[in-house]
């Protein structure tokens, strides 16, 4: 709450609060500030105090006033980025070559991404994209580092660059690990990376050129939309359904745009939690073979998923598919160790792209990770996390339903796709005042649009305190 002090007036406090959110991108360029009257009611101050605060923001160049419309966060100058949007009507598929017009992305997509890394308070954050740090605390990670840094072996790899493709021991361990998922990848087909996002970037920079069309599931991962847009790709959003991507939309895209790539999260899709079915997987592969595009399968959540889950790479045998995963979600986000597994013909090109960006990846961390896998430590740790997550999910779902929400997709995996009944962009700003960072539905679309959905992290929404605050603030919307 705002409290008048000798050093700062209420208007100055309110202006400072909004300025911080704008600079940290918690308020995205183009976002509308609450009306003067609405803001006064929300903050418990007079309308004149709000007017004074907004005047200060105007003077700082952070917002602009639009006649008869209110105050908006100023958009910073940036080059236009284009993406293609299908002309599709629900219930009656329609598309034509002339209806696929490239449009400008109206909002800087990274504005929404930055918000996900901003720690608004010490409270458990419902919008987090990872497990809480205390879930990931282990004794075997320090032991692994001690193991690989003891004795003369340290000098052999710390005083020179590592292997271009990545530590051979880790690639051998990863190859054996992928067997459990029925993904046939020899160590020579694996390239280690600085996290899974780096792996996705290597694939994009190797296989694509600016202006190429890329199919991406929607709703989907905001970072992937922003990353591809920054590289100059034309995004083709493919609606994600319970059984997999909308195959009719994909087929029409193939006829009209000759896409070069399809990026998919087959297992525990983010944000819906959907898992691909075998029938849908086979049809996606048929499209890829018929229209000569590659499929990147992002299996970031493999550590909490069943090994028998349907994976495109397992069915295809790494022919037109590229497998991507990492360990940030399950083990150590700060280590930034990821990898890709690819068709043999693409491996050397991926290594070249990796070398141009990072030279090699940290051998010390890769050797430590290989030890964790070989000793079974990672497997046992993942089993403990899965058990704990199952319990947290049950509590979180019960609380969400009790507080008037519903689920747009059956709860599964780490995330829940929740129907709130109100605009979650506006709701997220009010929740910030209470110390909670939400992940509003707009975050998961290629083109920002109002949404009543939000993604929750089951590990951080299993306490009644959050839901009580959520219900109170939602009722004020």
CATH number at residue 463: 3.90.1150.10
pLDDT at 335: 87
pLDDT at 397: 97
**368 and 409 housed in the same domain:** no
Q: What is the pTM of this model?
A: 0.84
Number of domains in the chain: 3
Residue entry with tokens 């046992």: 380
Residue 346 lies in a domain: yes
Residue 105 lies in a domain: no
**371 and 398 housed in the same domain:** no
Residue 103 lies in a domain: no
**354 and 454 housed in the same domain:** no
Residues 6+ apart with CB under 8 A from 68: none
SS (H, E, C) the chain: CCCCCCCCCHHHHHHHHHHHHHHCCCCCCCCECCCHHHHHHHHCCCHHHHHHHHHHHHHCCCEEEECCCEEEECCCCCCCCEEECCCCECCECCCCHHHCCEEECCCCHHHHHHHCCCCCCCCCCCCCCCCCHHHHCCCHHHHHHHHHHCCCHHHHHHCCCCCCCCCHHHHHHHHHHHHCCCCCCCHHHEEEECCHHHHHHHHHHHHCCCCCEEEEEECCCHHHHHHHHHCCCEEEEEEECCCCECHHHHHHHHHHHCCCEEEECCCCCCCCCCCCCHHHHHHHHHHHHHHCCEEEEECCCHHHCCCCCCCHHHHHCCCCEEEEEECCCCCCHHHCCEEEECCHHHHHHHHHHHHHHHCCCCHHHHHHHHHHHHCCHHHHHHHHHHHHHHHHHHHHHHHHHHCCCEECCCCCCCEEEEECCCCHHHHHHHHHHCCCCCEEHHHHCCCCCCCCEEEEEHHHCCCHHHHHHHHHHHHHC
**205 and 309 housed in the same domain:** yes
pLDDT at 38: 87
**435 and 422 housed in the same domain:** yes
Vertex 283 angle, CA 282 and 289, to 5°: 90
Residue 110 lies in a domain: no
**153 and 245 housed in the same domain:** yes
**193 and 311 housed in the same domain:** yes
pLDDT at 59: 87
**392 and 365 housed in the same domain:** no
Instruction: Please report, for the domain that includes residue 330, its CATH number.
Output: 3.40.640.10
**354 and 472 housed in the same domain:** no
* Range of the structural domain that residue 38 is part of: 10-73
**327 and 351 housed in the same domain:** yes
Residue 398 lies in a domain: yes
Residue 109 lies in a domain: no
Would you say 431 and 473 are in contact if contact means Cβ atoms under 8 Å apart?
yes
Residue 31 lies in a domain: yes
Stretches where the chain sits below pLDDT 70 are 1, 5-6, 76-120, 151-159
**270 and 351 housed in the same domain:** yes
- For the stretch 105-150, pLDDT in tens is 334 445 555 655 656 678 888 998 889 999 999 999 999 988 888 8
Instruction: Please report, for the domain that includes residue 64, its CATH number.
Output: 1.10.10.10
**165 and 298 housed in the same domain:** yes
Last residue of a domain, one of 346, 375, 404: 375
pLDDT at 103: 38
Last residue of a domain, one of 336, 356, 375: 375
pLDDT at 87: 47
Residue 108 lies in a domain: no
Last residue of a domain, one of 345, 375, 405: 375
């Amino acid at each position: 709450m705002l409290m008048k002090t000798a050093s700062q007036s209420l208007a100055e406090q309110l202006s400072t609060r909004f300025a911080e959110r704008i600079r940290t991108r918690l308020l995205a360029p183009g976002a509308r500030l609450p009306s003067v009257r609405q803001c006064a009611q929300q903050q418990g101050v007079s309308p004149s105090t709000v007017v004074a605060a907004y005047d200060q923001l105007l003077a700082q160049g952070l917002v602009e006033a639009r006649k008869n419309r209110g105050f908006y966060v100023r958009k910073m100058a940036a080059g236009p980025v284009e993406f293609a949007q299908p002309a599709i009507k629900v219930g009656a598929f329609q598309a034509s070559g002339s209806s696929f017009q490239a449009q400008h992305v109206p909002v800087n997509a990274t504005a929404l991404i930055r918000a996900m890394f901003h720690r608004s308070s010490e409270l458990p954050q419902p919008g987090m994209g990872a497990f809480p740090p205390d879930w990931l605390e282990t004794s075997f990670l320090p032991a692994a580092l001690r193991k690989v840094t003891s004795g003369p072996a340290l000098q052999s790899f710390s005083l020179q660059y590592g292997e271009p493709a990545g530590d051979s021991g880790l690639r051998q361990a990863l190859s054996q690990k992928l067997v459990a998922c029925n993904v046939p990848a020899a160590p020579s087909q694996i390239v280690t990376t600085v996290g899974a996002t780096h792996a996705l970037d290597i694939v994009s920079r190797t296989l694509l050129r600016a202006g190429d069309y890329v199919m991406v599931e929607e709703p989907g991962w905001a970072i992937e939309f922003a990353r591809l847009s920054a590289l100059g790709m034309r995004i083709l959003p493919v609606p994600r359904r319970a059984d997999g991507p909308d195959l009719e939309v994909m087929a029409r895209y193939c006829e009209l745009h000759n896409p070069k790539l399809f990026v998919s999260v087959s297992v525990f899709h983010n944000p819906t939690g959907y898992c691909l079915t075998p029938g849908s997987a086979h049809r996606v592969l048929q499209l890829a073979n018929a229209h000569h595009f590659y499929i990147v399968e992002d299996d970031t959540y493999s550590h909490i998923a069943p090994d028998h889950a349907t994976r495109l790479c397992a069915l295809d045998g790494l022919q037109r598919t590229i497998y991507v995963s990492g360990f940030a979600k399950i083990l150590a986000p700060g280590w930034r160790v990821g990898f890709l597994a690819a068709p043999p013909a693409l491996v050397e090109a991926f290594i070249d792209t990796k070398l141009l960006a990072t030279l090699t990846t940290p051998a010390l961390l890769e050797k430590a990770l290989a030890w964790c896998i070989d000793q079974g430590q990672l497997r046992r740790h993942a089993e403990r996390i899965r058990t704990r997550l199952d319990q947290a999910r049950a509590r979180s779902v019960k609380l969400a339903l009790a507080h008037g929400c519903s689920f747009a997709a059956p709860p599964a995996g780490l995330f829940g796709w929740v129907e709130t009944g109100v605009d979650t962009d506006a709701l997220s700003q009010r929740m910030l005042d209470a110390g909670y960072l939400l992940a509003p539905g707009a975050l998961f679309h290629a083109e920002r649009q109002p949404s009543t959905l939000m993604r929750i992290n089951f590990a951080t929404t299993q306490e009644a305190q959050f839901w009580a605050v959520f219900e109170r603030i939602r009722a004020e919307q």
